[in-house]
């Protein structure tokens, strides 16, 4: 019963975040909403956004080489939970001592990608056996919204 209630709370949070994303009017605002809402939604220490194409950069995002980004997403996966220690250094610069676990999300945009990196100071916050269906739904909402800007 408690697990069902927890899942319902998660669904409600994802729905609220989805509505806020869908109501954004620009890519810059969308990135701001992703950073602030996902940090609160998932109780993360840090949320960073990276684009593989410089044309999509905003003031709150960074550029990442597409080969590096794709190395974390094999077999068409849009979620990465394997906890490679090198990922902390790449996706959470200057925070390698505080980030203990992380999740990466990939939103595909035309011929480039948006990588959303969410890190926690709790080592068990993000694990490989975690279910990701709700967060992948949110990633799809982000993809749809960004495609509307282009």
Written as six digits, the tokens of 7 are: 């899942």
Q: Which residues contact 88 (CB under 8 A, 6 or more apart)?
A: 95, 96, 99, 102, 119
Show the CA angle centred on residue 136, arms to residues 132 and 142, nearest 5°: 150
Say whether pTM exceeds 0.85: yes
Q: Which residues contact 94 (CB under 8 A, 6 or more apart)?
A: none
**pLDDT tens figures, 56-82:** 889 999 999 999 999 999 888 899 998
Cα distance between residue 69 and residue 108, in whole Å: 12
């Amino acid at each position: 019963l408690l697990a069902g209630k927890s899942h319902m709370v998660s669904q409600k949070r994802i729905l609220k975040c989805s509505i806020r994303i869908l109501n954004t009017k620009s890519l810059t605002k969308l990135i701001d909403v992703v950073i602030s809402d996902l940090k609160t939604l998932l109780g993360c220490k840090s949320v960073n956004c990276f684009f593989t194409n410089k044309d999509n950069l905003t003031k709150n995002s960074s550029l990442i080489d597409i080969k590096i980004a794709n190395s974390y997403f094999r077999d068409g996966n849009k979620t990465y939970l394997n906890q490679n220690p090198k990922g902390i250094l790449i996706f959470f610069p200057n925070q390698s001592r505080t980030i203990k676990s992380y999740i990466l999300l990939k939103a595909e945009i035309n011929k480039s990608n948006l990588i959303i990196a969410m890190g926690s100071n709790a080592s068990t916050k993000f694990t490989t056996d975690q279910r990701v269906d709700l967060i992948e739904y949110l990633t799809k909402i982000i993809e749809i919204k960004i495609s509307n800007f282009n």
